[in-house]
Structure 1
């Protein structure tokens, strides 16, 4: 008997490991993984590379002219088996994870017409169900009727250390204080933006993974998936 496919929405604060857990869950249950945060990062990279930033301010009129021409897609890397992000056909997976993008992505993702364009793309990707999508507003705005919603949190210090470890592995020379400041700044912008602020959906399950191992976290996620499927 074929299992009914559902939409799984994973929201939460930056550097909680949402993408890692969503990718692993999708792999285990045979679903498509969609990294909504990568979509906003790709738009941010476009803005940086095309001089649409004046200090920390985006030239919104110029961005609005091109927003609907930005094609963001995901392709599986045959060697790693993991999805990578493409902007207008170019692989930008490594560039969008850099601090220069992290430092500006919250400003870009707070722009109403950017969110409107990305949400439309995300909803189109999820129409057939069988998807795991993570971000800031998946369970509240993109898929308010998702069958399984999870909201992930951890302390700012825990998240900053995880992010620092990730950046240092890639050879980035940044300090803990710099990363912690970035995490706190993004938290404030994400929670206080006018359009689709970061918040826990009323029917979302709360997961504080501050002290969980990856194995414990993965087991918990599979248990929640099975609980919903077996209803």
Structure 2
């Protein structure tokens, strides 16, 4: 890599369970970059409110909490619990919270040598000037199958029809929201992982990142 190059930022967007998180972590490890799952920042805000016994419907208070988060130490296992997810869905629609977290996410990306960020609006809103952008998607059936396997590996039980319905409902909500809707950036590379394993997705992305780094 060029030592004179500014921070390397890789933006990865896409719907839930398409594989963007796994791909993001692989790319971050390969290129020696920081990694941030921006969805966890909304969950961390919600958990902080819950832990302090604070209301979930006070937008100004939630935004203050969001500004005080340390994004470098988010624990996925702690933040993945159902109650936190339910609370996060309430604070994530608040414009002041979204603005506060976008500023925090941009600051995270600005920390040398750069970062891989994954979420719903990285390439379109958070880091529109990223070195390279990906939109990772897959069919609802393929995504549901992955999510089902994750649940079973974790010792739980899952109904694939219920998961498909939940993912489709979430997709519709993310795409229809007024603030930062889920959509590919105009210059994003599309990766459809329906029939693609993580190694194939990583190799496809790596080739494109390497080409971008050469320019």
1:114 equivalent to 2:112? Answer: no
Instruction: Say if 1:72 and 1:165 are closer, same or farther in 2 by CA, change over 3 A.
Output: farther
Alpha-carbon contact 1:67-1:117 (below 8 Å) kept:
no
> Per residue, is there more helix in 1 or in 2?
2
Partner Cα separation in structure 1 for residue 66 and residue 86 of structure 2 = 23
Q: Does the residue aligned with 2:76 lie in a helix, a strand or coil?
A: coil
1:161 equivalent to 2:163? Answer: no
1:34-113 to structure 2, matched below 5 A, reads: 34-47=36-49, 58-61=56-59, 63-64=61-62, 66-68=64-66, 70-75=68-73, 85=74, 92-103=75-86, 105-113=88-96
Which residue number in structure 1 is paired with residue 197 of structure 2?
213
Moved more, 97-106 or 184-193: 97-106
Aligned CA RMSD, in angstroms, stands at 2.4
Unaligned segments of structure 1, at least 5 residues: 76-84, 86-91
Partner Cα separation in structure 1 for residue 141 and residue 82 of structure 2 = 17
1:222 equivalent to 2:206? Answer: yes
Partner Cα separation in structure 1 for residue 102 and residue 63 of structure 2 = 18
1:139 equivalent to 2:123? Answer: yes
Q: Does the residue aligned with 1:132 lie in a helix, a strand or coil?
A: strand
1:186 Cα offset (Å)? 1.4
2:17 aligned to which of 15, 18, 22: 15
TM-score computed with the length of structure 2 as normaliser:
0.87
> Per residue, is there more strand in 1 or in 2?
1
Instruction: Say if 1:179 and 1:48 are closer, same or farther in 2 by CA, change over 3 A.
Output: farther
Which residue number in structure 2 is paired with residue 27 of structure 1?
29
Alpha-carbon contact 1:34-1:131 (below 8 Å) kept:
yes
Unaligned segments of structure 2, at least 5 residues: none
Alpha-carbon contact 2:57-2:90 (below 8 Å) kept:
no
Instruction: Say if 1:159 and 1:48 are closer, same or farther in 2 by CA, change over 3 A.
Output: farther
Q: Does the residue aligned with 2:200 lie in a helix, a strand or coil?
A: helix
Instruction: Say if 1:45 and 1:10 are closer, same or farther in 2 by CA, change over 3 A.
Output: same
1:48 Cα offset (Å)? 5.2
- What per-residue deviation string (whole Å, max 9, x for no partner) do you get for residues 7-52 of structure 1? 1100111111111100001101111111111111222334555666
1:229 Cα offset (Å)? 0.8
